[in-house]
Chains A and B, each alone.
Chain A
Amino acid sequence: MARAFTPKVVTANDLLEGDVIYMTGDGNWTRDHAEAKLFEDEDEAKAALAKAETQSLKLVGAYLADAVRGEDGKPEPVHFREAFRTRGPSNYPELGKQAEL
């Protein structure tokens, strides 16, 4: 039996900078997970990923990552790896997104 679909965000690394980016509702890209579009429909998620994969001048390695809607209505990562990707290295809190966002 196919597993039930769980909500996703589209994420990748920026081609020039290498840092983590997420697709927003208008098809642009943000560095802030909270601003990502949460896809709750499987077909929409797949279509968004397919669109991302055509943008090879912008990004590298797009994929769908599990996320849930948080209490504030914004998407939150599910897996710890994705949570680290929203922040940066835990040994240097002054580096990476955690310092900038």
Chain B
Amino acid sequence: MYEYNQFDHDFVRNRVREFRAQVERRLDGSLTEDEFKPLRLMNGLYLQLHAYMLRVAVPYGTLNSRQMNQLAYISEKWDKGYGHFTTRQNIQYNWPKLKDVPDILDALADVEMHAIQTSGNCVRNVTADHFAGAAADEIEDPRPTAELLRQWSMDHPEFQFLPRKFKIAITGAPNDRAVTKAHDIGLRMVRNENDEPGYEVIVGGGLGRTPMVGKVARDFLPKADLLPYVEAILQVYNLNGRRDNKFKARIKILVHETGIETLREMIEEVFETQKALHIPPSEEMVKAIEAQFQPPEFDAGPVDEEKLAAAIESDPLFKSFMETNVHEHFDPNHAIVTISLKPIGGTPGDATADQMRVMANLAEAYAYDELRVSHEQNIILPHVRRDDLPEVFERLREAGLATANVGLITDMIACPGMDYCALATARSIPVAQEISNAFEDIKAQHDIGPLKIKISGCINACGHHHVGHIGILGLDKAGVESYQITLGGDGTETATIGERAGPGFSYEEIVPAIQRIVERYVEIREGVDETFLETYRRVGAEPFKNALYPETV
């Protein structure tokens, strides 16, 4: 994985030093809160409902064991012994004290991490497919490109005060696990007719108040043109994005109001000048970055598949785990293991310091020292030898990390909601916990099959509810928590915004409502192989609405 060069080290350390001085000046009264707030936000420090919150970037979701161990250490030394992994592949600490934050940032810098550009109207942490560099279906590892974008966007002088925040996601595989169509820019690796890899560039996707599926700006962009093209998009947006209205300031509104054809022409025009002006990163530099993402030297010894098959047959829990939490690797001797951070009744995305250490140790011992954070709030061991799967499972089970529910109904996304977030209009975590408890039986979950529930605690949609097969949005309806259901959303390459099912449900009513949807699905599906989304697409919303609102039938 990428290692900081001297420039990166100096840049991050200088930023910590600068922030330390800013905190001192806030505490001695030389800076007012109005002056200090934008400075702390530039360094990922928010003030939430009950405390400060520090959002730490995990660039394109990649970590090594040393970094994961340091995240555990920070949570114990300066926080309350846990961290929350988010839908943007970041980790959030919920209880730091203002005076400790510079020390935390130094401790992050020790392991080549930081919290820069995790807030504010700039290019945020670039997210990537969490199976990057391991997936069997991948054209190329997208992370060298993500790293190039990170270097390009970091402290980019022109793009620190965009009309609004700007999120880029990238995938190297045709199966989109990075929700590229719901980002300001989505990059999907494709091949042209000469079999050369390049990018399909999608712009103007986004969730929030006005959810939109991104539109294709370029169906094939050669890799070498990436930076000038992305720079052109940002320039067009920076000049034309609406600064008059915060709710209309994202690029999706510009795409919507201008039309993709006109906007495409504007981008192409700037791109031509950019390309002429642009000093592209040297081939050497690109090669040097790519070299840091070479796959590890895989142990090529034969796998005793018979022994593995016997282990699977002898333990039903391991068998379930193999079915949902283990995915195909491009190397036939290896597998990708997803560690679910969704224990039954737990808080989605939370991990204790001890659990972080277990995951770090497993990565070191069994996964060539690599970990990934997924936007679905789980942790991935990207390269595990198939021989080692029973042992890895056993170690996870001992740490309470072996829940076999990846992709199933209890593998929910839930944003922090009103248990932490100052912007929330309702809680989301306890709703997730109660749904999880209601569907706790793993066998029943496997019978229901793939089903993604996503929950947000306000219209900002950090919990991606619009692209949940079942989405739940928490609102404040005249001083009472109220939950709106959307159906049929999809965050993959077939991205769709879910449809509102009807009037909202109270906190007490929302879990039974979800149960009625699931019961109806099981009744009407054409065989166990028809997933919830397939059934929904076949029959539409009506049968589910009837189940939700029986009194109106």
Contact = CB atoms under 8 A, between A and B. Distances in A.
Interface size class of B (residues with CB under 8 A): 20 to 34
Contacts of B26: 15
B80 A79 contact: no
B154 interface: no
A25 interface: no
A67 B120 CA distance: 33
B97 A18 contact: yes
Given A81-B418, A91-B429, A16 B47 contact: no
Contacts of B480: 80
B420 A89 contact: yes
B32 interface: yes
B98 A91 contact: no
Given A80-B481, A84-B419, A89-B420, A16 B99 contact: yes
A15 B98 contact: yes
A87 B131 CA distance: 39
B479 A96 contact: no
Contacts of A20: 49-50
Contacts of A13: 47, 51
Interface of B: 26-27, 29, 32-33, 47-52, 80, 94-99, 347, 418-420, 424, 427, 429-430, 433, 476, 479-481
Chain B CB within 10 Å — which of A57, A80, A91, A96 has the most? A91
A89 B429 contact: yes
A90 to B, nearest CB: 5
B481 A95 contact: no
A54 B99 CA distance: 21
Given A16-B99, A90-B430, A85 B50 contact: yes
A15 B481 CA distance: 29
Contacts of B419: 84, 89-91
Given A17-B51, A90-B419, A57 B29 contact: yes
Given A16-B97, A17-B97, A79-B479, A91 B430 contact: yes
Contact of A85 (B32, B49, B95, B98): B49
A99 B29 CA distance: 32
Interface string A11-34: 001011111100000000000000
A56 interface: yes
A91 B47 contact: no
16 contacts: A15-B27, A16-B97, A18-B47, A18-B48, A18-B50, A18-B52, A18-B96, A56-B29, A57-B27, A57-B29, A79-B479, A84-B49, A85-B50, A89-B419, A90-B429, A96-B50
Contacts of A10: none
Nearest to A80: B481
Chain A CB within 10 Å — which of B33, B50, B94, B433 has the most? B50
Contacts of A79: 479
B427 A56 contact: no
Contacts of A85: 49-50
A17 B96 CA distance: 8
A88 B27 CA distance: 25
Contact of A89 (B27, B47, B50, B476): B50
Contacts of B418: 80-81, 84
A61 B33 CA distance: 9
Given A16-B97, A89-B429, A90-B419, A80 B51 contact: no
Given A57-B27, A91-B433, 20 more contacts: A15-B27, A17-B51, A17-B97, A17-B98, A18-B47, A18-B52, A18-B96, A18-B97, A20-B50, A56-B33, A61-B47, A78-B479, A79-B479, A81-B49, A81-B418, A88-B50, A89-B50, A89-B94, A89-B420, A91-B347
Nearest to A86: B50
B27 to A, nearest CB: 8
B191 to A, nearest CB: 45
Contacts of B95: 18, 95
B480 to A, nearest CB: 7
A77 to B, nearest CB: 11
B478 to A, nearest CB: 10
A53 B174 CA distance: 54
Closest 8 CB pairs of A and B: A89-B419, A18-B52, A18-B51, A91-B429, A91-B347, A96-B50, A90-B430, A60-B33
A95 B47 contact: no
Nearest to B26: A15
A80 B481 CA distance: 8
Contacts of A89: 50, 94, 419-420, 429
Contacts of B48: 18
Nearest to A17: B97
Contacts of B51: 13, 17-19
Nearest to B418: A84
A80 B429 contact: no
A86 to B, nearest CB: 10
A57 B24 CA distance: 12
A58 B427 CA distance: 29
A90 B427 contact: yes
B186 to A, nearest CB: 32
Contacts of B94: 89
A10 to B, nearest CB: 16
B279 to A, nearest CB: 44
A95 B418 CA distance: 15
B267 to A, nearest CB: 40
Contacts of A88: 50
A17 B99 CA distance: 9
B477 to A, nearest CB: 11
Contacts of B481: 80
B98 A18 contact: yes
B218 to A, nearest CB: 44
B523 to A, nearest CB: 33
